[in-house]
Amino acid sequence: MEQFLGVLEARVTKFALPVLPGGFVLFKEFHQPSSAQEAVGLRHNLLRAAYLGGGTILNALDYEKMVPEEFRAECLVSLESLPVRQIELTSEELVIGAMVTHQEMLESEQVFPVLKEIVGQMRNRNIRNMATVGGNIALRSSNGNISVGLLAMDANIEIMLPQCEASSAGEVLENSGQAQPGKINVCRKVLSLAQYLEGVETVPGLKEALILKVHIPRAIGEMRFATRCYRRTANDISILSADVLVKGTAGHIEDIRLAMGGIARHAARLTDIENMLLEQGLPKDRDELVSAIRPLLHTVSDVRGSAEFKREVGAQIAAWSVYKALGQI
């Protein structure tokens, strides 16, 4: 549950949240702002507030069990009325609004096949109907399917946060300037998903960021790809996943991206392996690649499997995905 703590964090007080019989948490306040600026202001000024996306986590029956009391949200800031539900394909990029659901991505004609395949890894259709892309990123879970895929795609995210000075990460797109009465100074920025995932715990202000949009370079849609995940049952959340995007051939790899879920605290790129493949080409024997990947996987033992088991399966599915993307399987 460690991964939830960061995002569900708000300013901590010692209240106990009212819990109804059956474990339902009763949130004390519900706000439905109509602009991103208003949402950021509410999240900033309310005690123990959280943005509400699709609510698959915040409204989960076991929310109260999943999140320690001191990190639970008490006020919800709904993103329902914000204009961040569009999918747009331009000559440069694919732009996906934070409130777009997994099912909407799957049904869109504009979304790249690789992203659809990754979205499809979330097998539970009821969850796909509600779960948003923004919520998936904000959770920063070790094995969030979309986050892993977007990391391989070198995606950027557009965020809004209070006060530009608070966070050094990313490029400022818009600064609302001096705060007006009743409003706060907000800043709209773009940064890489990698910067966001790595920076949330350390870069001031990022934890409070409202994710607005995801930007994926259009060239990604032209790359060959393979994705694979490992889960206990068909309907389970992935324990491990590997997404590979490649340009070129097995004999001449021009560009390769390998991202994995379930092997680190959040989605991770295996840049050492990418560089090895670019410099030395594809090994003749797949086991050679498995051996190179294995020591890079920092897995942990939990209810879903031992660290050793996950390291072995992780190395196998990563190597398989590389060979598959290059047409060698």
**Applying CB under 6 A, which residues contact ligand FAD?**
7-8, 50-58, 60, 79, 98, 122, 124, 127, 130-132, 134-136, 138-139, 144-145, 210-211, 237
Min CB(40)–ligand FAD separation in Å:
10
**Cβ closest to ligand FAD, residue 72 vs residue 311:** 72
**Cβ closest to ligand FAD, residue 98 vs residue 220:** 98
Phi-psi region at 244: left, alpha or beta (left = phi > 0; alpha = psi -120 to 50): beta
**Cβ closest to ligand FAD, residue 43 vs residue 269:** 43
**Cβ closest to ligand FAD, residue 75 vs residue 253:** 75
Min CB(179)–ligand FAD separation in Å:
21
d(CA 149, CA 230): 15
The angle at the Cα of 313, spanning 311 to 316, to the nearest 5 degrees, equals: 105
Residue nearest to ligand FAD (CB): 135
Min CB(327)–ligand FAD separation in Å:
28
CA-to-CA separations, 23 to 18, 74, 75, 267, in angstroms, rounded: 10, 15, 18, 30
Q: Which residue has the tokens 């995007």?
A: 245
**Cβ closest to ligand FAD, residue 140 vs residue 269:** 140
Min CB(278)–ligand FAD separation in Å:
29
SS3 260: strand
Phi, psi of 300 (to 5 degrees): -125, 150
**Cβ closest to ligand FAD, residue 7 vs residue 114:** 7
Min CB(155)–ligand FAD separation in Å:
14
Classify residue 297 by its DSSP letter.
Answer: -
Contact 318/292 with Cβ under 8 angstroms? no
Contact 269/151 with Cβ under 8 angstroms? yes
Structure tokens at 143: 């094995």
**Cβ closest to ligand FAD, residue 145 vs residue 192:** 145
d(CA 137, CA 267): 10
Question: Which residues lie closer than 8 Å to 299 by C-beta, 6 or more apart?
Answer: 262, 263, 307, 308, 310, 311, 314
Min CB(46)–ligand FAD separation in Å:
12
Min CB(255)–ligand FAD separation in Å:
26
Contact 245/257 with Cβ under 8 angstroms? yes
